[in-house]
Structure 1
């Protein structure tokens, strides 16, 4: 499954995913625990970016590997590792909450992503 997701910074410089069909709290869409740092790398000085994300390989994509699926009492979702980013070793840990399961209908073993719609 492939999905383009827009991410944006609010006035407090906090990152959020733009998922219109999400029926839960807006706080659930905030990107924290490493995901915010990754979005800062991708967007550089911009306040938004759009990523093509998939649970199957896509050409020229970065890869997040699932390391640990969290139980609900630990926030749900999964802890992922971004070993390299733009061919540079990072070993960057990221937590993606249960919204990931909402988007992909599961917690993918690997998430492939790349920036799209760069002007």
Structure 2
């Protein structure tokens, strides 16, 4: 699976992913517990950014490594680790919720991503 996603920050500072086919509540698409910090790092001062995600390596991709699968009663999804971004050490831990299961049809051991440059 390789797919581009738009992430956007609302006026209250909360980050969300745009998934038009998502049938659940918008709150499920909010980026929290480190995912928001990752988007701040990637976006700089921008209020939105586009990322390509894949469950297989591709040229120029950064990598998130699965550290722990959460039990459904603890929010589900998985805890991931971003060791570096653009060659700089980040040591960022983040939680990716059950929406990750929806997108990838499971929790990949590694998630590859790259910022899509907008014109």
- Equivalent residue runs for 1:26-45 within 5 Å: 26-45=26-45
1:114 is matched with: 114
Give a deviation string over 1:2-29, Cα, whole Å, max 9, x none: 0100000111010000001111010000
Superposition CA RMSD, Å: 0.7
Query: 1:27-66, CA deviations, whole angstroms, 9 ceiling, x for partnerless residues?
Result: 0000000010110111111100000000000111110000
Gap regions ≥5 residues in structure 1: none
Query: How many aligned positions are there?
Result: 119
Moved over 3 A (4+): none
Match of 1:25? Answer: 25
Shift of 1:105: 0.6
SS at match of 1:42: helix
TM-score between the two structures when normalised by the length of structure 1: 0.97
TM-score, normalisation: structure 2: 0.97
Which segments of 5 or more consecutive residues in structure 2 lack a partner in the other structure? Answer: none
Once residues 117 and 85 of structure 1 are traced to their aligned partners in structure 2, the CA distance between those partners, rounded to angstroms, is 16
